[in-house]
Amino acid sequence: MSEMSRRDVLRRLALALTAAGSLDRVSAQEVHHLAAQVQGSSASYRPKTFTEHEFRTLERLTDLIIPVENGAPGAVAAGCAAWIDTISSENEELQKIYRDGFSWLDRTMKTRAGVDFAGAAPPGQTALLDLIAYRRNQTPELAPAIQFFSWVRRMTVDAFYTSEIGIRDVDYRGNSPMASYPSPVESIAYAVRRSASLPSQRSDDRRDDESSPEQRAARQSFTKYDRAQGDGNRYFGNAHDE
């Protein structure tokens, strides 16, 4: 793909993202391919949109949103920061959202700890993000930072679950031939648990001896699908809507 064609594709995808708030799976995977083309044979990705410092900050944010957990690779290994940098390269609105957000993080962290965000200790980083990760903290002063972190979180999740690592994380088996089609017990149980309108969401109130072996096994493996339940995933899940 020529440089002009690549830029046209990214411009189109970025416009779709800013209009709808997310990308469909095929479009998101196209961004992964374009990011891989940018990296080429290099051992590490070199950002095209953000400075090296901004990119380190972005990579740390994605790591905090979807970290390594229970041996499963997280956002860093999935290349989420490169995905965001790539799709932002042809969209001034996204660039402004991110650059203003990076500036706010560094400025606020320097006031608190005398260092920029990327250089701060993990407890200091999470303490600052706790201010902007939840809508219940909305104030006129925090509103731009909350919007920024909402974009980072949404785009990190889009990037992760359309990457090869993220697809394996949810055990997605589409686009490949299968000899049989076993019932997705764990997936169904997860969907039931996440639906607030279904009475079986309160399955944790039931005694295990009243459940089938399949139901008990499904409950034990919820974290495979809902990584927000892990201690490391404090910024990934539905709690930020509160």
CB of 132 closer than 8 Å to CB of 145: yes
The answer to whether residue 178 sits within a structural domain is: no
pLDDT of 55 reads: 97
The answer to whether residue 133 sits within a structural domain is: yes
The residue-averaged pLDDT of 72-95 equals 92
Mean pLDDT of the chain: 75
Alpha helices in 114-134 (DSSP H): 122-132
pLDDT at 127 over 90: yes
Give the tens place of pLDDT for each residue, 42-61: 567 889 899 999 999 999 99
CB of 174 closer than 8 Å to CB of 123: no
Question: In total, how many domains does the chain have?
Answer: 2
Q: Are 34 and 130 found together in one domain? A: yes
- The C-alpha angle with vertex 71 and arms to 153 and 116, in degrees rounded to 5, equals 45
The answer to whether residue 179 sits within a structural domain is: no
pLDDT of 99 reads: 98
Alpha helices in 161-197 (DSSP H): 164-169, 185-194
Question: Band of the pLDDT at 184, cuts 50, 70, 90?
Answer: low
Q: Are 139 and 203 found together in one domain? A: no
The answer to whether residue 234 sits within a structural domain is: no
Structural domain harbouring 211: 185-227
pLDDT of 205 reads: 38
227 versus 138: the higher-pLDDT residue is: 138
Length of the chain, in residues:
242
81: which 2 tokens?
Answer: 């920061």
84 versus 161: the higher-pLDDT residue is: 84
Q: Are 16 and 37 found together in one domain? A: yes
Q: Are 209 and 127 found together in one domain? A: no
pLDDT at 176 over 50: yes
The answer to whether residue 236 sits within a structural domain is: no
Q: Enumerate residues 6+ apart whose C-beta is below 8 A from 209.
A: none
The answer to whether residue 177 sits within a structural domain is: no
Q: Are 53 and 87 found together in one domain? A: yes
pLDDT at 2 over 90: no
- Give the predicted TM-score (pTM) of the model: 0.68
